[in-house]
Amino acid sequence: MRKLPLVLSAALLCGTAADALASKPASDRGDEVILHAWSWSLDTIANNMKTIADAGYNYVQTSPVQACYVGEDGGMALFSKPGDSVKGKWYYYYQPTDWTIGNYMLGTRDDFKAMCDSAFKYGVKVLVDVLPNHTAVDHSKVLPGLDNAVGGHKNLFHAAGHTPIRDYNDRRECTTGEMGGLPDVNTENPDFQYYYLQYVNDLINLGARGFRYDTAKHIGLPSDPVDAKAERNNFWDIATGREAVKGLSLLMPDSLYIYGEVLQDRNVKEKEYSEYIDVTASNYGHALRHALEKGAGSPQELIDWNNPAGADKIVTWVESHDTYCNQHESAGLTDQQIRAAWVFLTSRQGGRPLFFSRPEGSTRENYWGTNRIGNRGNAEFYHPEVVAANKFRHAMAGLTESIAFSQNGAVGEVARGNAGVALVNFSSDKQKATLPCPLPDGEYTDAVHGTSFKVAKGNLSGTLAPLATYILYAK
């Protein structure tokens, strides 16, 4: 007996998430797409803004732009080892020395303004990676202006801010202790909140329209233990505009998109964080990468977003800069594999997809490529399959999804209402597939490759090339 393909719809997801998604207008459901222009300089982003817009991205996310630790004599390599001819580390811009705009790695305050002006011209919104949680490992490099603003250097840090976190399941340690050698800032100090908010408002005045909060899960929630130096955990109320501090409030809070790095690894309160900001669906990214490694997906893995925050409060990705750079968890996946998973992810209803721009010239043998901070990433962010998925997402805004897999799991199908279908071959082998399909009967030509598919009596059939993707629109 011929086995039927596996099929599930959004209605079979976690009920609350699906219901919430269905009840909200398209503009609230995250049908937008983010490009993470990782380690691109501000002028590089500005010079590529038209391409970014034409590729269907609504947001471009910068790397951190605040003053930062100057390491290895200001070397501009993405990564170097002792003895290398080049020097530098990408993560130095994640080590703040002050919260003012401009650093040696990415550009000046004027460069930031010019980038935002370019973004406005092309209808792209700027997201800035911000990180109030910690300072540079060498906190002696903190600039005097910051120390003075917070009432002296010792007031910049939590009571346990120089004590390493040993138990990440302990929320007090997680939110007040030193992570990876990075001293933990007293984010509940009103003087720090005021100083930090001035920085954020300056970014907004220059054109920023959203923020990505690095290490967000290390900044306490109201329900978390309160540091000995604080009265209550109110940072997120300040950062999202619910409260003012010393008479200063977040500018235009209702016009900003804000999400945080709330990785789903240990003792994480995704739901409570999502009451303030959107959160990262890191477990779903892991599931996608697992499907790529197997060459097959399944409803059990790839339908449920696996995040209690719900489909309308998550940022989704195939990979992030952390999965690429830290132990190179995802760097071994080919660009073709990443594209395949991106099309599946981005075609779906819910979430807000983020495309990580890999380094220029990167290969599986050379993860760092040309190894230069400031350069544009490789050409994958505007590959025709990636662009087609971005535009399919926009075209399908507000339409419910149904998802089907071939019996062997190699082929996945995302249908949006009866208006369009995205097909993905997760396998490195050619696949013939027959799948249930809501499109009207007829012959269909894929929008990217010109490949033909047939729909008859509610079933779609055709042949898919290895790791290829296809976009079909109803006639």
| Residue positions annotated with a catalytic role | 214, 261
Pull the structure tokens for residue 474: 């109803």
Lowest mean pLDDT among 61-75, 105-119, 254-268: 254-268
Cβ-based neighbour number of residue 157 at 10 Å = 24
Q: Is 333 exposed, middle or buried, given 0-12, 13-18 or 19+ CB atoms closer than 10 A?
A: buried
Pull the structure tokens for residue 5: 């393909």
Q: Is the pLDDT of residue 6 over 60?
A: no
- How wide is the angle at C-alpha 113 spanned by C-alphas 134 and 55, nearest 5°? 95
| pLDDT for residue 475 | 85
214-242 pLDDT tens trace: 999 999 999 999 999 999 999 999 999 99
26-69 pLDDT tens trace: 344 469 999 999 999 999 999 999 999 999 999 999 999 999 99
Q: E strand or H helix at 41, and its extent?
A: none
159-170 pLDDT tens trace: 999 999 999 999
* In 48-84, alpha helices (H): 49-54
Q: Is the pLDDT of residue 77 over 90?
A: yes
Pull the structure tokens for residue 246: 């010393």
| pLDDT for residue 21 | 29
By percentage, how much of the chain surpasses pLDDT 70?
Answer: 94
| pLDDT for residue 22 | 30
Give me the sheet containing 431-436, strands edge to edge: 431-436, 459-464, 452-456, 442-445
**Amino acid identity, position 35:** L
User: Do residues 156 and 192 make contact, with C-beta atoms less than 8 angstroms apart?
Assistant: yes
Q: Please tell me whether residue 331 adopts helix, strand or coil conformation.
A: coil
At CB < 8 A and 24+ separation, what contacts does 69-75 make? 69/95, 69/96, 69/97, 69/136, 69/137, 69/138, 69/141, 70/104, 70/141, 71/95, 74/104
Give me the residue spans of the domains in the chain.
Answer: 26-398
Sign of the Cα torsion 68, 276, 304, 354 reads: negative
Backbone angles phi, psi at 379, to 5 degrees: -80, 0
Q: Is 267 exposed, middle or buried, given 0-12, 13-18 or 19+ CB atoms closer than 10 A?
A: exposed
Q: E strand or H helix at 3, and its extent?
A: none
322-371 pLDDT tens trace: 999 998 999 999 999 999 999 999 999 999 999 999 999 999 999 999 99
Cβ-based neighbour number of residue 355 at 10 Å = 29
Q: Which CATH superfamily is domain 26-398 in?
A: Glycosidases (3.20.20.80)
Q: How confident is the model at residue 12 (pLDDT cuts 50, 70, 90)?
A: very low
Q: What is the DSSP secondary-structure string of 193-239?
A: HHHHHHHHHHHHHHTEEEEEETTGGGS--TTSPPPTT-S---HHHHH
| pLDDT for residue 13 | 30
